[in-house]
């Protein structure tokens, strides 16, 4: 069976979509080809990199990509991970099934360094659970 293609879309492709891309890859193994992009590009967030490393996943090699770079790919699933991206999400031709979950943006966290790190961890854990469930529901039995 052919691999499913998944696009995770966020505002800036710096944090939440990067985490989701990594967890979807981790849980899906070889059952899907995963991409992430933003409706804008903000560069990879160092806090996201550090928080994912705490969970044993290195995203330091990821790049921040614009959704327009992937318009030619016939996605099976498009997952928006913030309301802003959902509102600005382009229409993808074909059969792409769309999903949405608005995760808190840890890049906008305020407080002490420890408080900000904790907000990154909370968002990471929410994304991890969502991605694990998504893979079990839509990819596991391919």
Please state the rounded mean pLDDT for residues 8-23.
Answer: 95
How many Cβ atoms are within 10 Å of 111's Cβ, its own excluded?
10
From the list 32, 34, 37, 82, the catalytic residue is 82
Catalytic option among 57, 89, 96, 116: 89
CATH number attached to the domain at 4-135: 3.40.50.2300
Position 92 scores a pLDDT of 62
The CA distance from 37 to 25, in Å, is: 15
Catalytic position from the list 6, 7, 8, 10 = 10
**Mean pLDDT, residues 62-90:** 85
Q: What's the average model confidence in pLDDT over 59-83? A: 92
The pLDDT of residue 142 is 57
Q: Name 6's bridge partners.
A: 34, 77
**Model confidence at 16: pLDDT above 70:** yes
Q: Per-residue confidence at 2, pLDDT binned at 50, 70, 90?
A: confident
Does residue 10 have an active-site annotation?
A: yes
How many residues belong to the chain?
142
What whole-number distance in Å separates Cα of residue 55 and Cα of residue 42?
A: 23
Please check the confidence at residue 89 and state whether its pLDDT lies above 70: no
Indicate the domain borders of the chain.
4-135
Identify whether 89 is a catalytic site residue: yes
Percent of the chain with pLDDT over 90: 75
């Amino acid at each position: 069976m052919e691999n499913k293609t998944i696009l995770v879309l966020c505002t800036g492709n710096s944090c939440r979509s990067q985490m989701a891309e990594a967890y979807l890859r981790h849980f899906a193994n070889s059952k899907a080809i995963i991409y992430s992009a933003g409706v804008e590009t903000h560069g990879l967030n160092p806090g996201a990199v550090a928080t994912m490393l705490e969970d044993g996943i290195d995203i330091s090699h990821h790049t921040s990509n614009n959704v327009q770079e992937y318009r030619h790919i016939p996605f099976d699933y498009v997952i928006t991970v913030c309301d802003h991206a959902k509102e600005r999400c382009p229409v993808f031709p074909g059969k792409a099934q769309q999903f949405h979950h608005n995760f808190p943006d840890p890049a906008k966290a305020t407080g002490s360094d420890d408080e900000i790190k904790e907000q990154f961890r909370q968002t990471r854990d929410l994304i991890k659970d969502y991605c694990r469930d998504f893979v079990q529901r839509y990819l596991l039995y391919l």
